Homo-oligomer: A and B are copies of this chain.
Amino acid sequence: MRIQVDKLSTVFLSDQIRQQITDRIRSGLLKENDPLPSIRNLGSELCVSPVTVTKAYKKLEADGLIERIHGKGTFVKGGLFNAPYTPDKKERFQWQTEVKDYLGRAQFAKEMHLIDFDHPYNLAEASICPELLPTKQVVKNATNQLSKHIDLLDDYGTGEGDIGFRTKLATILKKDDINTAPEDLIITNGGQQALNLIINTFIGANDVVVIEAPTYPGIIDMLVTRGARIITLPIDSSGLKTDELHLICEKYKPKMVYTIPRYHNPTGVSMSDKRKRDLISIAETYNLLIVEDDPWSELTFTKNKTKPLSSYDTNGHVIYVKGYSKLIGPTYRLGVLSAKGTIIDRLKFAKSNADLGSSILIQKLIEPIFEQKTWEKYTTQLALKMKNRAEIVCKILNEHAPKELKWTYPKGGINLWCTLPNEISAVDLLNSVMYKEGISFLPGVMFYYDQPKHNTFRLTFSYVNEKALEKGIVKMCRLIEEYIT
């Protein structure tokens, strides 16, 4: 276990220690019954007083995460959202526990393992219902499509991806007003790898990064792992609060802002055009890198789709990231990032260091769906289907949900963000009621770095079929009502 404290931070040292141990327990990196270092040892390792460590351990005990056994030491406690996930039961070697690692957190990985895909009412998985995906068509034409390009399959190809494929993607992205070109693109293994390359390349210990609260949990894991100083900024109905960002820039000199401006994950909110202009202007003033994560903007429920942040950027500040898993399915592990100038050059080197480039075979296999007309037709139809599902869900919620439950009406994407009464914990609700009834959703706590709102959860309407969706939401409403009263 590697804990690091930042003595210049305004966060109490004991809270820093508490947060890092919490992260590792919630990630499953520390497992049930794993011993924690003694107070004396941890104190001397971090050069902090034993009193500070004691404070941290007492809080962790109060949080229900650890247990202090007199005369034996301090140990990690179990529980569904604590430490139970062991990928596989197997031998453990004592000496290995002394091997320090640089993994700060992997909470998203662990929580995803908790999703039971066999749940009839899986409202947790942010994927598209298999029957709506083009998988069958792609598989059917696989031999033909690959035969056509067999000469390209013999070599590594360029690390940034096949030029033919990048050209097609660039055309589609430009149609969406994204300021890009084939040479500005790197093909990645899903959006996740794009984010990972960016964070590993530009963010290191104590670099300040601003993220929205709530936000995509995967990015929190990456930032914690790099030892970044994370500043969270709540969003409102117009997205990231740019006026507050101004103050943060003055005070903390951030290097990067990570944002999901269109149909934000998990809240569904879109950034207003005014805020987009403000954000770019702030980036220019303070020389910020902006990561625009855009996983499902194609799934828009209104006539006029809002513009990408990238379209306002003329000075190379925005790194645009698009994962295609939410649109064409996760099996291709396909994503893309777009950036300008030396930023994209450096990311190309990072991609090469990471894996020498993504599979050319996959790119050629899936290429036909990225023909502009095919893509537009496919995504328009998928958007209609998702809009229909969103309407079904909202209708049922209007009819069946207890009045204490609040939710957002999404204008795009695949999620609703729900808020329970303050005193209700979504984790407890999931744990004690929903799971055994075959319903799963993602508790809101996952989406916060600090100060989590325990009474929130994300409800995904894209994965199960419509019938199960209807039945599941009705059932969920009834269970919530019973749970509250």
Contacts and interface: CB of A to CB of B under 8 A. Distances in A.
A108 B352 contact: yes
A358 interface: yes
A196 interface: yes
B153 A91 contact: no
Contact of A150 (B99, B136, B147, B341): B136
Contact of A316 (B93, B98, B193): B93
Given A93-B341, A340-B93, A353 B154 contact: no
Interface in A339-367: 340-343, 345-346, 348-350, 352-362, 365
A139 B153 contact: yes
Contacts of A93: 315-316, 340-342
A350 B157 CA distance: 26
A230 to B, nearest CB: 15
Given A196-B353, A353-B103, A353-B222, A345 B86 contact: yes
A446 to B, nearest CB: 14
A98 B253 CA distance: 14
A199 B290 CA distance: 27
Interface of A: 27-29, 86-88, 90-93, 95-103, 106, 108-110, 112-113, 117, 125, 127, 130, 133, 135-136, 139-144, 146-147, 150, 152-160, 183-184, 188-190, 192-193, 196, 200-204, 218, 221-222, 225, 255, 287, 289, 315-316, 325, 329-333, 340-343, 345-346, 348-350, 352-362, 365
Given A139-B146, A193-B355, A87 B201 contact: no
Contacts of A353: 103, 106, 108-109, 192, 196, 218, 221-222, 225
| Shortest 9 CB-CB contacts between residues of A and residues of B | A109-B352, A106-B349, A130-B154, A88-B183, A142-B142, A93-B316, A193-B355, A189-B355, A153-B331
12 contacts: A29-B346, A88-B183, A90-B183, A92-B342, A95-B287, A102-B202, A127-B154, A156-B330, A190-B355, A192-B354, A332-B359, A333-B359
B91 A342 contact: no
B342 A97 contact: yes
A95 B315 contact: yes
A92 B117 CA distance: 47
Nearest to A131: B154
Nearest to A364: B331
A349 B103 contact: yes
A93 B341 CA distance: 6
Given A150-B136, A218-B353, A349-B27, A361 B358 contact: no
Contacts of A365: 142, 361
Nearest to A90: B183
Nearest to A256: B99
B155 A147 contact: no
A218 to B, nearest CB: 7
B135 A340 contact: no
A329 to B, nearest CB: 6
Contact of A333 (B150, B158, B340, B358): B358
Nearest to A194: B355
A140 B143 contact: yes
Contact of A341 (B90, B102, B155, B362): B90
Question: Which of A127, A315, A333 neighbours the largest number of chain B CB atoms within 10 Å of its CB?
Answer: A333
B340 A359 contact: no
A440 to B, nearest CB: 14
